[in-house]
Amino acid sequence: MPSDPLHRLSSRQRDLLEAWLPGLDVRADLSWGLVATTVLEIRAADGTHGIVKAGGPADHHIAREIRAHLNWLTPWTSAGLAPELLHHDREAKVLVTRYLPGELVQGHPAEQEWETYRQAGRLLATLHGQLAVLDTEFHAQQ
């Protein structure tokens, strides 16, 4: 990891993180390097253990993720099944969530277990069960 682990963030993103999380210490760079999104595991001076996601200039995903946290994820976050949104700024393309321990299923032995997919199905049913909207324009075009 470079000496400044926040090097890929814009100055605005760094300023926001400094204001939100004084004494921020980057524990790990979890970025995949496939897109211009930086993902960092952090700990703040007050003990907050979180994940920072910061999008690059052309990013369109962070705003959608923020919208999902604000509008849809409460059934999961209230049960400890998704990380809680702590801070966000759509224009700056940055968000901070509380750290939620876990491992990616991809490449893990659990990837081959049926129970993994049953659990995923239950989570999706909870998410999709919140609201149903009939898109009359879409159905009229079919």
pLDDT in tens, the chain (142 residues): 456 778 889 999 999 999 999 999 999 999 987 778 999 999 999 999 999 999 999 999 999 999 999 999 998 999 999 999 999 999 999 999 999 998 889 999 999 999 999 999 999 998 888 876 777 887 677 7
Q: How far, in Å, are 26, 74, 126 from residue 82 at the CA level?
A: 21, 9, 12
Predicted model pTM = 0.83
What are the chain's domains?
Answer: 11-102 (3.30.200.20)
